[in-house]
Amino acid sequence: RRAFEAGWGFAVTKTFSLDKDIVTNVSPRIVRGITSGPIYGPGQGSFLNIELISEKTAAYWCKSITELKSDFPKQILIASIMCSYSKDEWTELSKMAEVIAS
């Protein structure tokens, strides 16, 4: 909502899934990574982002997306979805996202 109020033309939702696949995020979400060896050199630092998908239900996202599309009909809103390796589950979730997009 804030992005559209600020004039953005599009936004992408946080990735959501079917309710059976909801996960609890871990903390901390950003961890320090270290590489070493002949390719990278000694002690090169990095950060790893291990944040997971949304903890909110698919129903929450469908309702929120519907409200945003109603309030900002000209902006593009991309629903980021994720399922387990199952054609039926992908079909179910993608149809949910397709219905709220229209």
Q: Is residue 40 part of a domain?
A: no
Q: Which two tokens stand for residue 12?
A: 């992408």
Q: Is residue 93 part of a domain?
A: yes
Q: Which two tokens stand for residue 42?
A: 């000694």
The domain tally of the chain equals 1
Q: Is residue 81 part of a domain?
A: yes
Cα(99)–Cα(62) distance, rounded to whole angstroms?
9
Q: Is residue 97 part of a domain?
A: yes
- For residue 82, the enclosing domain spans 2-23+54-101
Tens of pLDDT along the chain (102 residues)? Answer: 999 999 999 999 989 999 998 877 767 677 777 666 666 656 666 677 777 788 899 999 999 999 999 999 999 999 999 998 999 999 999 999 988 876
